[in-house]
Structure 1
Amino acid sequence: MKVARAELSVAFVICSLLAAAALIYASYQLTDSLQGGMADEALRQQYARMTFLALGFVGAAGFGSLFVVLPLLRHHNREQGKLRSLTVLLKERSKKLEAAALTDPLTGTHNRRFFDEALLQYVQEFQRIKRPLGLILIDLDHFKAINDSHGHDTGDEVLRAVAFCLFEVTRFHDVVARIGGEEFAIIAPNLGFDELRRFAEKLRHEISRVTLTVGEVRLGVTASIGIALAGPEDGPGSLTKRADVNLYQAKQGGRNRVII
């Protein structure tokens, strides 16, 4: 059976303490003899030796205990360090998983789940503080034709390029999400009617400047945009429906336009 060094150290400490206790007890017996008048030089020397040995065993026990305590402390510190590292790793992994669950993997924008939750919170909060809140729905024109003619890989590149364009144009506190195949949505707070229209027109213009080269073909893309401004009685559903109706009118009216 394998005996650990710590176990041997514990046994050594216990034996040293027992030996010291026995010597101390014997020293007390000699002390009684010395106090009883039977002292001679031999007894005194024996008493001194036993006292010295007892102190030596106590010291050895104390020294031996270091071989028990110090390894335990080092082991404890190592385990605590591993536990802290594991905790940090799990927190980082949890954040990454949470972010991945709310992010569109193709474009890096927020996904539909995040958009739905954010829109509900924005509508409730901006109705409470009585500030304007706009919703912009963007649908890429003739995107199916791009997929059919040039392949889905090219279509994916177009989506990524448009998403990058949206990130460049939108403000820090705007919420950009991909909510469908070729459909994006933007929650735009603190913009009134005219400001929201101008902002949407800027988005449309910048999207129309997106180009992609496929072989010898240079692809361009345009977008139809429907926008709506939240009213005092609007919920997320009614606001989205009005923006969607305007998006439909933009597509029916010739595409590459903004309807509010």
Structure 2
Amino acid sequence: SGAAAPLLPAAPPVPEGVVRSPLFSSFAREELAAVIHGLRLHAYSAGQVVVSEGEAGDSLFVIASGVARVFVEGPDRRHREVRRLESGDFFGEISLLTGSPRTATVIAATDCEVLELDRAAVLGVAARHPAVRATIERFCLERAESAEEQAVRGAASFRPAIEAEIDDLELPAEAPAPSLAAGEIAALVPYCTVAVHGEGETVFARGDAGDRLYVIDEGEVEVRFEQRRPLKRLGPGEIFGELALLSSGRRRTATAVTAGPCRLIAIDRPALERLTRERPELIVRLLEQSCAYLVESEQRLVADLRRHNRELERALDFLHRTKQELSTAETLAQTDELTGIYNRRCFEEQIRSHVERAALSGLTVALLLVDIDHFKQVNDRLGHQVGDLVLRRLAHLLQGAVRWSDLPCRIGGDEFAVLWTDLDARAAARRAYELQPLLGAFELAGTPSHLGVTASLGGALLRPGETWQELFARADRSLYLAKRSGRGYLAWDERLADGDAAQA
């Protein structure tokens, strides 16, 4: 994220981008200062991410100064730039109003300032100023129509980029229905059944058994397919229902309903056999038209299936990435934001789990606690920024000195812990003694006189039948013993280490 976002001051100078924004075009500059009072103005350096595609969000943003770029991730995981945002542009309104994930990633192209309006702020401003509400609604409507960002809520939960990505697979145009000329229709009448239908009558329904095709002599018929295919409206001379006649025993794949008064010619199997004997040229013409239509329809169906298969692959790809993102989110939830090592939540989950497994398997668990000596004085004398540097430095030293299977954690303000497994009592104590010179005293470069810092260490090995809380309490008592003895000491299993103190 960007730099700290202070509240705008009581009498803020209104950024030019905010003045130019269509969101606030109905306000005079003096009025605008009151409207944006209390909102947050974020500063971003070039290259910083403002919002990420797929993340939850309920804020709208206005570019107050500078330039930002909008990227959409394709199914190949490559990002393409789709828009450039300049001073006065706003974005994020779709997620704000619908609650859907962000549909794109916005990155600062230059150093820029961004005004944030969260849901509460927008509702408040919109309630007091109808012009703002109207502008937001208009922009949302335009963007939703052009990008179809909320076409299907379920598809949006897969990945808005699937909908935004331009599909390079062109479907063939809808094949025209087979048809006969007026003279050919007249020649069929003596061999076939002619029936007159009123408006809205069902000629046949999807799933019905069928043994005849129909030719429209007068009027129109609507052929209704399954839900994802559009209906077809057929007129005079056009043929429908040919599959049931040409493929014996086949059930109807659509429903045919008259769109008004209609005169239909029905050709059943006896009529087809008679026509084959007496008017073969009509049958050849009928088959020629029907087969051409079926071939073109099959081509369209194959292309349609290919397109849906690609959409399914994209959805599966998104689900795979979502699993990875959830794993990443879980890792972030267990990571200390300041130091980058594991946090107290992770520590408590893992020590509980390790102790439970140790009770079943007999494996060993050891715990080392590390506490910076007189850390409050560092903060009071040199400030919290230096204090943060000290915490990061200790975390870095700790992380670099443990095995990949060990668990280094920051469990409190200036208190750290390392959880070891599969070490016997002698090996665990030896590891603690090896860490003590490294962590017991260290310097912080870049601070006045290369600030010297000491830390006290206390540890313990899990005893049979002991709970994790009891193990922690014994390690904590060891730590208290080390701190009471001076600075930079180590105590193991409630006994002070001999001759290894690194005193300042």
Q: TM-score range by the shorter chain?
A: 0.7 to 0.9
Q: Does structure 1 retain, via aligned residues, the 8 Å contact 2:276–2:283?
A: no
Q: Does structure 2 retain, via aligned residues, the 8 Å contact 1:204–1:222?
A: no
TM-score (norm 2): 0.44
Once the two structures are TM-superposed, the CA of residue 52 in structure 1 deviates from its matched residue by 2.1
Assess, with a 3 A threshold, how the Cα gap between structure 1 residues 26 and 224 changes in structure 2: closer, same or farther: same
Give the 3-state SS of the residue equivalent to 1:210 in structure 2. strand
Match of residue 29 from structure 1: 274
1:169-216: CA deviation from partner (whole Å, max 9, x where unpaired): 111221111100110111112333333222112212112453222354
Match of residue 49 from structure 1: 281
Match of residue 223 from structure 1: 455
1:125-151: CA deviation from partner (whole Å, max 9, x where unpaired): 223332332111110112112222222
Match of residue 403 from structure 2: 171
Assess, with a 3 A threshold, how the Cα gap between structure 1 residues 121 and 93 changes in structure 2: closer, same or farther: same
Q: Does structure 2 retain, via aligned residues, the 8 Å contact 1:23–1:54?
A: no
Match of residue 182 from structure 1: 414
Q: Does 1:253 align with 2:485?
A: yes
Task: Please point out which of 103, 110, 113 is paired with 2:345.
Answer: 113
What RMSD in Å do the two structures reach over aligned CA positions? 2.8
Unaligned runs of 5+ in 1: 35-46
Cα distance in 2, alignment partners of residues 228 and 27 from structure 1: 94
Q: Does 1:9 align with 2:175?
A: yes
Q: Once the two structures are aligned, what percentage of the paired residues are identical?
A: 33
Q: Does 1:78 align with 2:310?
A: yes
Q: Does 1:132 align with 2:377?
A: no
Cα distance in 1, alignment partners of residues 438 and 462 from structure 2: 25
Cα distance in 1, alignment partners of residues 468 and 363 from structure 2: 16
Which residue identity is paired with 1:254? G
Assess, with a 3 A threshold, how the Cα gap between structure 1 residues 19 and 201 changes in structure 2: closer, same or farther: closer
Match of residue 387 from structure 2: 155
Q: Does structure 1 retain, via aligned residues, the 8 Å contact 2:371–2:414?
A: yes
Give the 3-state SS of the residue equivalent to 2:366 in structure 1. strand
Cα distance in 2, alignment partners of residues 184 and 249 from structure 1: 16
Further displaced range: 88-97 or 99-108: 88-97
Structure number with the higher helix fraction is 1
Q: Does structure 2 retain, via aligned residues, the 8 Å contact 1:23–1:50?
A: no
Assess, with a 3 A threshold, how the Cα gap between structure 1 residues 137 and 25 changes in structure 2: closer, same or farther: same
Once the two structures are TM-superposed, the CA of residue 227 in structure 1 deviates from its matched residue by 0.9
Match of residue 91 from structure 1: 323
If you compute each CA radius of gyration, which structure gives the higher value, 1 or 2?
A: 1
Which residue identity is paired with 2:273? Y
Q: Does structure 1 retain, via aligned residues, the 8 Å contact 2:177–2:240?
A: no
* Runs of 4+ that moved beyond 6 A: none
Size of the aligned set, in residue pairs, is 243
Match of residue 42 from structure 1: none
Cα distance in 1, alignment partners of residues 482 and 178 from structure 2: 89
Task: Please point out which of 206, 211, 214 is paired with 2:438.
Answer: 206
1:28-56: CA deviation from partner (whole Å, max 9, x where unpaired): 33456x6xxxxxxxxxxxx3422321221
Q: Does structure 2 retain, via aligned residues, the 8 Å contact 1:17–1:61?
A: no
Q: Does 1:239 align with 2:405?
A: no
Give the 3-state SS of the residue equivalent to 1:186 in structure 2. strand
Once the two structures are TM-superposed, the CA of residue 24 in structure 1 deviates from its matched residue by 8.0
Give the 3-state SS of the residue equivalent to 2:337 in structure 1. coil
Assess, with a 3 A threshold, how the Cα gap between structure 1 residues 252 and 31 changes in structure 2: closer, same or farther: closer
Determine which structure has greater relative contact order: mean sequence separation of CA pairs < 8 Å that are 6+ residues apart, divided by chain length.
1
Cα distance in 1, alignment partners of residues 426 and 268 from structure 2: 99
Once the two structures are TM-superposed, the CA of residue 162 in structure 1 deviates from its matched residue by 1.1
Match of residue 123 from structure 1: 355
Give the 3-state SS of the residue equivalent to 1:96 in structure 2. helix
Q: Does 1:142 align with 2:374?
A: yes
Once the two structures are TM-superposed, the CA of residue 8 in structure 1 deviates from its matched residue by 4.6
Structure number with the higher strand fraction is 2
Q: Does structure 2 retain, via aligned residues, the 8 Å contact 1:146–1:155?
A: yes
Match of residue 61 from structure 1: 293
TM-score (norm 1): 0.82
Once the two structures are TM-superposed, the CA of residue 257 in structure 1 deviates from its matched residue by 0.9
